[in-house]
């Protein structure tokens, strides 16, 4: 199989299977999810210390909070693929 055929096969297949083929495991997604949760807490602490009227902490918290849920879902999907 040529390199081009391999790329086409990866692009047209299951994205979760592709991520697993690249060596990304469910543990990686779980670690990334909890790291993003830590970033949410850190941005909240920084914004409270800043006490600026134009603080972006709410927006950053919502943005990073969505990462948490998405990465957890990715971890679950990768776990099912591993079994």
**What does the pLDDT look like over 26-75, one tens digit per residue?**
999 999 999 998 988 888 787 777 766 555 667 777 787 889 999 999 99
Residue 7 maps to a domain: no
Number of domains in the chain: 1
Residue 55 maps to a domain: yes
Which pLDDT does position 75 carry in this prediction?
Answer: 96
What would you report as the CA-atom Rg of the chain, rounded to the nearest whole angstrom? 18
Burial of 57 (0-12, 13-18, 19+ CB in 10 A): middle
At residue 11, what are phi and psi to the nearest 5 degrees? -70, -30
Alpha helices by DSSP H, listed for 1-83, are 3-12, 15-21, 26-50, 57-82
Structural domain range at position 31: 15-82
Residue 2 maps to a domain: no
């Amino acid at each position: 199989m040529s390199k081009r055929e391999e790329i086409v096969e990866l692009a047209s297949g299951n994205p979760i299977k592709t991520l697993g083929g690249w060596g990304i495991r469910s543990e990686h997604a779980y670690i990334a999810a909890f790291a993003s949760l830590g970033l949410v807490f850190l941005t909240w602490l920084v914004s409270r210390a800043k006490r600026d009227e134009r603080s972006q902490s709410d927006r950053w918290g919502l943005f990073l909070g969505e990462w948490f849920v998405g990465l957890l879902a990715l971890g679950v999907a990768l776990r099912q693929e591993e079994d």
